Amino acid sequence: MGSLPFTIPKENRANPAPMPSAPTSVRPAATGTRHSTFALLSAFAAFAFTIIVPTMLRDGDTGWHLVAGAWIIAHAAVPTSDPFSFSVAGRPWVAHEWLAEVAMYAGYRAAGWSGLIVLVGAAMAALFGLVAAELRRWMSARASIVALLLLATGLIPSLVARPHMLVLPILAGWTIALLHARERDRAPPLPMAAAMLIWANAHGSYVFGLALVGVFALEALLTAKPSERLPVIRRWALFGIVATIAAAVTPWGPYGLTFPFYLNDLKALGQINEWQPSDFRTFSGFETILLVSLAFLLAKPIRIPPVRLVLMLGMLHMTLQHTRHEIILVTVGLLVLAKPVGQAWRRGDTSASKPHEQSPDRLKIAVLVSVLAIGLTAYRVAVPVVRTETKGIPVTALAHLPPALRHQRVFNEYGFGGSLILAGIRPYIDGRTDMYGDAFTLDYFAIARGEADRWHAANATWHFGWTILPPRSPLVRLLDHDPAWRRIYADDTAVIHQAVPTHRANR
């Protein structure tokens, strides 16, 4: 179960003074057994939600990530040139998320789509467990639940089977370790830098992790006594250098450190939904997060250290620019605000630390949660998930594609590219915008908007045998009125046109 429906072509083998302490009347909201129990229950709730209400299969890019993982395992190497498309075949391309893609394919190979869902569910469990444990250090159980609900609200739009979901526990753990290092008024332990070896090979967000080191190092420097600033610089600089070296241990080497900046500067990203600015024309989960957060921050005076305030504003700016950064804002933001919000709302309240309160039996709860998690995993595997038709996944259309067309050149919708690769069909374009580049991708979007001259120029170059596009695509209307093309299939997701053979012969 879970084998991919294609054969990978072998010919494509690629070569100081501490921060001001809280008032003595303010203590962490929970410690020991109770706070561990809350984390366990939160992790289980996240796991259960993820695997029972699977939403992560709606993204077409999942397809090419799986095929990349399969290619890497089959060739025991990371590709350094494009093995999947026909339009830029052989162009330099490094699968910079290779580690996450291998994990995704391993889950898929083990138990099909269910295995992939369980993998994402495990990542969500780790994320919520880590965040919940940190929240409960400063907040009451009720406040922590509200915060976790905000986290879930921010993650749901991005809850798809792609590498970014698998590295969120690393982002949370990294942030927590930096916060704890500041509490102890020291640099993080050097072994922690090894996390960058995994993070940098799994997703490009590791650059933000390096930036966080700089943020907290700056805070440590600004709050240190003048006589202690040199040791602070030495300790944090050493950690930052080791972490950066670890982040450079990727198939790209040091160049990988600049890749996220190259990607962020691509003009074509403005045509892709997740890279577009936040849209407040309709009420959204992100607006809910902002309004609830403002209510908490304005209802009582909250003191946020200046450097952390700048960090929060910077992450908000990133999110307003590109919606894909919302998951960073909610994850890191909750962790950074946990202490100041908890102190403001619990000042003078020590009820959570009363010694006479009986703590639950952590071992029994851990055993119960483990049994339930195993049971849910068994259920998810025993009841296989069927990947259904969605906006980016033309399942039915591909099932009706005549076999003779599978090996002819196709002009496809951008979001369909991953599904074509998964089906063993070489696409014209797919989600790897970094490889296709600005010129090619912007030309594609102009064609997709129905610019006839660009379409005819591309067709004269590539001699497309068929097209697969959304029903509302302007290019669909153009092809419907072109005698050189005939519509052979249509549904609510995709329309397939085939080039008329006589016209192809005359070209």
pLDDT tens for 104-157 read: 999 999 999 999 999 999 999 999 999 999 999 999 999 999 999 999 999 999
d(CA 1, CA 22): 55
d(CA 11, CA 100): 24
pTM for this one? 0.88
Mean pLDDT by 10 residues, the chain (507 residues): 50 43 44 76 95 86 96 96 95 94 97 95 97 94 94 93 96 97 95 96 95 97 94 96 96 86 83 81 88 87 93 94 91 96 70 48 83 91 87 93 95 96 97 93 94 96 97 96 96 96 59
- Looking at residue 4, its pLDDT comes to 60
Residue 24's CB is within 10 A of a number of other CB atoms, namely 6
Q: Can you tell me whether residue 495 is helix, strand or coil?
A: strand
- 199 near 177, Cβ under 8 Å? no
- Looking at residue 268, its pLDDT comes to 85
- Looking at residue 33, its pLDDT comes to 59
- Looking at residue 504, its pLDDT comes to 55
d(CA 145, CA 368): 21
- Looking at residue 10, its pLDDT comes to 44
Going from the C-alpha of 178 to that of each of 102, 175, 209, 302, 419, the distances in angstroms are: 29, 5, 10, 21, 40
d(CA 376, CA 381): 9
Write out the two tokens for 350: 């020590």
Q: Is the dihedral of CA 374, 379, 381, 387 positive or negative?
A: negative
- What value, to the nearest 5°, has the Cα angle with vertex 8 and ends 444 and 60? 40
Burial of 280 (0-12, 13-18, 19+ CB in 10 A): exposed
